[in-house]
Structure 1
Amino acid sequence: MSEIYKNRHAAFNLHVHLVFITKYRKKVLGELHHECFSQCVAEVCKSFDAELKECNGEADHIHMLIQYPPTVQLSKLVNNLKSVTSRRMRGGFIDLRAAYSKPVLWSRSYFASSCGGAPLDIIKQYIQNQQG
């Protein structure tokens, strides 16, 4: 059974799978970049009362699994994650600054998928079997 988180008014277990892609899909990320990215994301998540559960990726994209409370607006979390990681990583790594002529790191697009809990078919059956 997954852990259920609680606050004053809700019990929840919300997770999101996020993927950020580098601008123009350039292969600019190395191991040190990934470590710095993970640290930055963990700090940003903490400020949203969220938690980075897993983070990994390749030279042109990064996957994250984040647990978050129902009070978090995902688009705001994503915008914060992108802006903070881009600013800090470009500030700390000369190679990332040199890779782009403008102060960018991430593509404007991203992937987000809710995840965890029971499969949708099981939840549908549960709801269908409730007495009206």
Structure 2
Amino acid sequence: MKCKSNNNVVYSCKYHVVFCPKYRRPVLVDGVDERLKEIALEVADEMGFDIIEMEAMPGHVHMLLEAGPQLGIHRAVKRIKGRTSHGLRAELPWPRTRIPVLRASSHFVSTVGGAPLAVVRQCIENQKSV
């Protein structure tokens, strides 16, 4: 197991995160999914956490994140969801016409302590074939 560190903490905190567009509408298609990934990676760089794996399906997004305990996973997910929703709706006109708000307020987070990292990564990679 590889650990990361900052000035105060040595950690290995990996999370499986799933979130959906409002009403789980299939709006993450036709390039929207790729732009969502780009925006999420920008947020990760700004806030100092890593997105290990990410897959956007038409109605939901799976991510495998590694974030420090001082950052807090809720803060990272909130920023990703907010920035992607705002950015996609500003750049692309058709998501605005489909639904008034792109993101739902809830999300699912699970720590990846019990499953081997390779298994979770493979699960997220194989979402498209399900």
Please indicate the TM-score interval, normalised by the length of the shorter structure: 0.7 to 0.9
- Alignment of 1:110 with 2:107, yes or no, is yes
Instruction: Summarize the alignment of residues 40-59 of structure 1 with structure 2, pairs less than 5 Å apart.
Output: 40-59=39-58
Instruction: Summarize the alignment of residues 109-128 of structure 1 with structure 2, pairs less than 5 Å apart.
Output: 109-116=106-113
What TM-score do you get using the length of structure 2 for normalisation?
0.81
Residue matched to 2:10: 11
1:31/1:112 Cα in 2 relative to 1: closer, same or farther (>3 Å)?
A: farther
What is the Cα deviation at residue 113 of structure 1?
0.7
Which residue identity is paired with 1:65? Answer: L
Residue matched to 1:85: 84
Between the two proteins, what is the percent identity of the paired residues?
Answer: 28
Q: Unmatched 5+ residue regions in structure 1?
A: 120-132
What is the Cα deviation at residue 16 of structure 1?
1.1
Bigger CA radius of gyration: 1
- Alignment of 1:61 with 2:60, yes or no, is yes
Q: Which of the pair is proportionally richer in strand? A: 1
CA distance, structure 1, for counterparts of residue 115 and residue 27 of structure 2: 37
How many pairs align?
A: 116
What TM-score do you get using the length of structure 1 for normalisation?
0.80
CA distance, structure 2, for counterparts of residue 12 and residue 110 of structure 1: 23
Which residue identity is paired with 1:41? Answer: A
Which residue identity is paired with 2:111? Answer: S
1:92/1:28 Cα in 2 relative to 1: closer, same or farther (>3 Å)?
A: same
1:94/1:118 Cα in 2 relative to 1: closer, same or farther (>3 Å)?
A: closer
Q: Unmatched 5+ residue regions in structure 2?
A: 117-130
Residue matched to 2:94: 95
1:37/1:118 Cα in 2 relative to 1: closer, same or farther (>3 Å)?
A: closer
